[in-house]
Amino acid sequence: MAHKDDAPQAVPDTPGTRRHGDGVRRRRPLRQRHVEETVEVAVPVRTAYNQWTQFKTFPRFSTVVHGVEQIRPTMTAWTIGYGPLRHRFAVEIVEQDPDAYLAWRGLEQHPSHQGEVEFRPTASGGTAITVRMLLEPRGAARILTRSSRATRLTARSVRGELMNFKRFIEGLGQEGGAWRGTIRNGRVQHDHPEPPRSRVAQWPVG
């Protein structure tokens, strides 16, 4: 949340976004990267993207993620942890382009985090997946994670998760579902007059 001393900000300007030449506001690539890791997977981009965006399946391959609740396309709640420790946080997906890109930000203020995932086809027909994450811990956690060692640990963890995903999707060979929608600035965009999830009772409720 902004402070009173700040100049008024237009609501749609979610942090790290800018307007492109085509008039569409898209997320600016993270500059201040805490972590960047890339892995190549031997499945087509569409397959990798479709599986990645089935967030509820993350616990099937991840050693850190214990549960994901998909509240709606733009909002998820994640439970992560090591051993007996658990932490739950909500995440907003602010940008999503099928087969190309996904950006998120945490909705908690402490600690805050944001990140992005890029999907690029490789010459061999596979997919290069790049994850960039920026963590902004507060208080004691900020002091503890200030060292480069903490950054390396985070990077190692992200790399480990990417390797887990690689084994998962390469083993499965094909995705277990798909959501092909587009998200811009935290809002679902639709190019279909009646997307399936809009087919609900429309009459007034008293």
List residues binding other proteins (CB under 8 A): 1-4, 6-12, 14, 25, 67, 69, 71-75, 77, 79, 88, 90, 92, 107-109, 185-190, 193-195, 197-206
Smallest gap from Cβ 156 to other proteins, in A, equals 28
Angle at 176 between CA 187 and CA 199, to 5 degrees: 45
Beta carbon nearer to other proteins, 26 or 166? 26
Query: Is residue 105 within 8 Å of residue 14, measured between CB atoms?
Result: yes
Smallest gap from Cβ 169 to other proteins, in A, equals 25
Smallest gap from Cβ 13 to other proteins, in A, equals 9
Smallest gap from Cβ 100 to other proteins, in A, equals 19
Cα 41 vs. chain centroid, distance in angstroms?
A: 18
Beta carbon nearer to other proteins, 124 or 202? 202
Beta carbon nearer to other proteins, 86 or 156? 86
Q: What is the C-alpha R_g of the chain?
A: 18
Sequence-ordered strand ranges (E) for 21-173: 25-27, 35-41, 65-72, 75-80, 87-97, 101-106, 112-121, 127-136
Beta carbon nearer to other proteins, 112 or 151? 112
| Cα–Cα dist 169/58, whole Å | 11
Beta carbon nearer to other proteins, 74 or 127? 74
Smallest gap from Cβ 68 to other proteins, in A, equals 11
Smallest gap from Cβ 109 to other proteins, in A, equals 5
Beta carbon nearer to other proteins, 88 or 152? 88
| Cα–Cα dist 29/102, whole Å | 11
Residue of 68, 55, 74, 72 whose CA lies nearest to 14: 74
| Cα–Cα dist 170/173, whole Å | 5
